[in-house]
A and B are shown apart, each in its own frame.
Chain A
Amino acid sequence: MSDSTAIAHGAPADAHEEHPSYLRHHFNSVEQQSDATNFAMWLFLLTEIMFFGGLFTAYLIYRNWYYPAFVAGSHQLNVVWGTLNTVVLICSSFTMAMGVWCAETRRRRGLVLCLSLTFILGLCFLGIKGIEYREKFEMHHVPGQHYSLQSFLDPQSNPEVYAEYHDKPLALDMARHTEIYFSLYFALTGMHALHMIIGIGILGFMIYRARDGAYTAGHTTFVENFGYYWHFVDLVWIYLFALLYLISRHQ
């Protein structure tokens, strides 16, 4: 282990031959740069999994303990809106994937179109979510001081839901636990919506830059990495849809 061979054996950095403007100074090659940033994005998504993981753990435990309350709570959700939102998000994932393809094949107008469609679909999702939240607010299903147990103690007070599921009234004790269900519902969908809002903000920034051809000159890493993020957020929603809306649709 001699002390100075490390430098003596050094070879001149060979990055000078091809040095595109988007290659940051500290990388030796474009491959290294896109490799590193892609890897960083995957790691970031891993932290996101752990972040949502805490909530999913809470969901699992309480669902195990208070299954009837969770079923009754789930029946109060509007499965039509939920399904529609799932479709909206899957479509936005498709337009996002098309956007990445457009960037890779250097189609500037196609990229702007795809990103704009994704942007609009994202806003649609939030709009529909807003309608659902308003329904919950009106029904006093938002946890906290004004939370009401009426729909669970007396299911016939909400004729639409009753007509569909014929829920039996819950005992007071179990009915109280529905508040846990709605706590988790709002925490999970709220955190998901927050991610959507951040994503839509970044999309706006990307559309602005894509119009000048920033991502269609060979450097597509940013669009690609954002695509990972967007698909991840969609994927979280698919789980939420199954766990929150579809707990017990059968009779």
Chain B
Amino acid sequence: MSDTIVSLPDQSTARIPKVNYLNKENGLLSWLLTSDHKRIAILYLISITFFFFIGGALAGLIRLELLTPQSDLMATDTYNKVFTMHGVIMIFLFLVPSVPATLGNFLIPIMLGAKDLALPKINLLSWYLYMAGGLLALYTMMAGGVDTGWTFTTPLSTHYVNTNVLTTGLAIFIAGFSSIFTGLNFIVTIHKMRAPGMTWFRMPLFVWAHYAASILMVLGTPVLAIAIVLVALERTIGIGVFDPAKGGDPLLFQHLFWFYSHPAVYIMILPGMGVISEVISTFSRKRVFGYTAVAFSSVAIAVFGFFVWAHHMFIMGISNYAVLVFSLLTMLVAVPSAIKIFNWAFTLYKGSITFETPMLYAFGFMGLFTIGGMTGVFLGTSGTDIHLTETYFIVAHFHFVMVGGMLMAFLSGIHFWWPKITGRMYPEKISQLAAVVTFIGFNLTFFPQFILGVLGMPRRYASYPPEFQILNVFSTAGATILGVGYLLPVLYLTWSLKYGAIAGNNPWQATGLEWQIQSPPLTENFTELPIMDHEA
């Protein structure tokens, strides 16, 4: 692509187009009843940001409680409820829909050269389901919360707690269907709505990553749904599928639950990897190194992801042979993940790298995801897992992947496509600062937790031995900095809606199809049916 000299964007003369998807119709109803994928993406963006800050506030409470070794800020029961709701909200209401429902919704039709997703009304339905699930989760919080942990472990959740398991379960069930419909919509769109000439291997890697994640959503989520139904039936009418007193096996619940919930972590991370592929290639001005390998590694992660769930159960009494096999399969997932990291690194090699905000977040992703992924191999190794499981090592590991990885990717993508979504630039200097603050705050929060875990501090307790306090103080201090890092983008991005510089169609000189149309786009995206004669 270095043979093309592109003209610099003329931002001084750029104007916000008179007609675009934001101002074509006005009024609240035109948003609530829209079937435009771009408007639904905005609805999602607002709602998941709302839930992110609720989940974040709960995380703040957890860190405050852990500032001191005693349980003094809240009672231990309350602490259990707080970390449970933190997990439920962050996983089901933020991480799972984060990139797919916002950026994916907005960009996949445009990247494929289509006017909309294949099923626009189902897309709107999925937002309403998400909101119903979300509001039910909020209601649960108001009504006294739930204290089983986000994993709803039986028989704790079926027999021993008297908190709101049923409403939380229903909330997750409903939000799960929202996720199924999003995934289903993406798969149909990618199969059937590609513009002429948009072959599978001309699709952007962002789309490949979403395709892989959608497969996981469609195949995994229903299994979680039935597991929740069985827990609910056991709590209400007392059927015995998971009840040892009747010959049922609580371990079966673990199998059904993790059959979804392990692939769910790939539902969360794969779309983020799609964002990183686009950002790295744009800001190093090179085609992604090894396009085919990166595309197939997404699919490989999705396929392997279905065969590793039992590594959550190594200490729960499954057979040693099962442990052996699942341990091996778990390590295999590291291979396609490493393929991605290496290919991104080779994309950077000899590229003309610039350090705009999306790129800073992408660098953060690469470093933190690598650490998070490699510690996953520690945990997949059955011997070390027995020592490290249920300690803060686990907490640090999945926060490195989910927060250090996915959240960085989400912010990277939001900044990268912000000019396309709103037609205006975000302020560059302060957002670079926010990216750095986030990175520092993140490391200060979660790196000490690796050490705490190795030293043996168990997770899910409100109090701990005094010798762990110094590392916990570091972690809480880091969480404060991290909070500032997340608050800043909300402020300056809102500011930029009105005062940001006009972006023009293609402020990054990027090559994707979405950059060839006006920003913000027309409701129908394209004035003419695009025909692709090269890779987007």
Q: Report if B229 contacts A (CB, 8 A).
A: yes
Q: Report if A53 contacts B (CB, 8 A).
A: yes
Assess the A12–B219 pair: CB atoms within 8 A.
Answer: no
Assess the B1–A47 pair: CB atoms within 8 A.
Answer: no
Contacts of A1 in B (CB 8 A): 1, 4, 287, 511, 534-535
For chain A, residues 106 to 151, give those with C-beta under 8 angstroms from any C-beta of chain B: 142-145
- On whether A57 and B256 interact (CB within 8 A), knowing A11-B528, A66-B247, A143-B238, the answer reads yes
For chain A, residues 41 to 75, give those with C-beta under 8 angstroms from any C-beta of chain B: 43-44, 46-48, 50-55, 57-58, 61-62, 65-66, 69
Pick the interface stretch among A159-167, A173-181, A237-245. Answer: A173-181
Pick the interface stretch among B220-228, B292-300, B309-317. Answer: B220-228
Assess the A65–B222 pair: CB atoms within 8 A.
Answer: no
> What is the number of contacts between chain A and chain B, taking CB atoms within 8 Å?
174
Assess the B192–A53 pair: CB atoms within 8 A.
Answer: no
Contacts of B219 in A (CB 8 A): 46-47, 50
Assess the A11–B246 pair: CB atoms within 8 A.
Answer: no
Pick the interface stretch among B112-120, B347-355, B417-425, B485-493. Answer: B112-120
A186 to B234, CA, bound (A): 12
CB nearest neighbor in A for B185:
A40
A76 to B9, CA, bound (A): 78
A48 to B237, CA, bound (A): 24
Assess the A10–B531 pair: CB atoms within 8 A.
Answer: yes
Assess the B241–A28 pair: CB atoms within 8 A.
Answer: no
Contacts of B222 in A (CB 8 A): 47-48, 50-51, 53-54
Q: Report if A83 contacts B (CB, 8 A).
A: no
CB nearest neighbor in B for A7:
B516
Assess the A11–B531 pair: CB atoms within 8 A.
Answer: yes
Q: Report if B464 contacts A (CB, 8 A).
A: no
Assess the B227–A10 pair: CB atoms within 8 A.
Answer: no
- On whether A6 and B191 interact (CB within 8 A), knowing A40-B119, A143-B238, the answer reads no
B11, chain A: closest CB distance, angstroms = 16
CB nearest neighbor in A for B119:
A40
Assess the B221–A54 pair: CB atoms within 8 A.
Answer: no
Contacts of B467 in A (CB 8 A): none
Q: Which of A12, A37, A52, A53 contacts B529 (CB 8 A)?
A: A12
Contacts of B114 in A (CB 8 A): 26
Q: Which of A3, A24, A36, A51 contacts B225 (CB 8 A)?
A: A51
CB nearest neighbor in B for A147:
B238
Q: Which of A4, A13, A26, A54 contacts B227 (CB 8 A)?
A: A54
A137 to B456, CA, bound (A): 52
CB nearest neighbor in A for B225:
A51
Assess the B241–A13 pair: CB atoms within 8 A.
Answer: no
Q: Report if A250 contacts B (CB, 8 A).
A: no
Q: Report if B56 contacts A (CB, 8 A).
A: no
A40 to B513, CA, bound (A): 25
Q: Which of A26, A52, A183 contacts B241 (CB 8 A)?
A: A183
Q: Which of B119, B226, B535 has the most CB of A within 10 A?
A: B226
A32 to B509, CA, bound (A): 33
Assess the A3–B529 pair: CB atoms within 8 A.
Answer: no
Q: Report if A2 contacts B (CB, 8 A).
A: yes
Q: Report if B6 contacts A (CB, 8 A).
A: yes
Assess the B115–A26 pair: CB atoms within 8 A.
Answer: yes
A40 to B185, CA, bound (A): 7
Contacts of B223 in A (CB 8 A): 50-51, 53-54
A245 to B116, CA, bound (A): 47
Assess the B184–A44 pair: CB atoms within 8 A.
Answer: yes
Assess the B180–A187 pair: CB atoms within 8 A.
Answer: no
Beyond A10-B530, A25-B524, 5 additional contacts (C-beta under 8 Å) are: A1-B534, A3-B4, A12-B528, A13-B529, A54-B227
Using CB atoms and an 8 Å cutoff, list the residues of chain A in contact with chain B: 1-7, 9-14, 24-26, 28, 32, 35-37, 39-40, 43-44, 46-48, 50-55, 57-58, 61-62, 65-66, 69, 142-145, 176-177, 179-180, 182-184, 186-187, 191
Using CB atoms and an 8 Å cutoff, list the residues of chain B in contact with chain A: 1, 4, 6, 109, 113-120, 122, 180, 184-185, 187-189, 191-193, 196, 218-223, 225-227, 229-230, 233, 237-241, 246-249, 252, 255-256, 259, 287, 506, 509, 511, 513, 515-517, 524, 526, 528-536
20 chain-A/chain-B pairs, Cβ below 8 angstroms: A2-B4, A6-B532, A11-B196, A13-B529, A24-B120, A25-B115, A26-B115, A32-B193, A36-B188, A36-B192, A46-B218, A46-B219, A50-B223, A52-B226, A54-B222, A54-B227, A144-B239, A176-B246, A177-B246, A191-B226
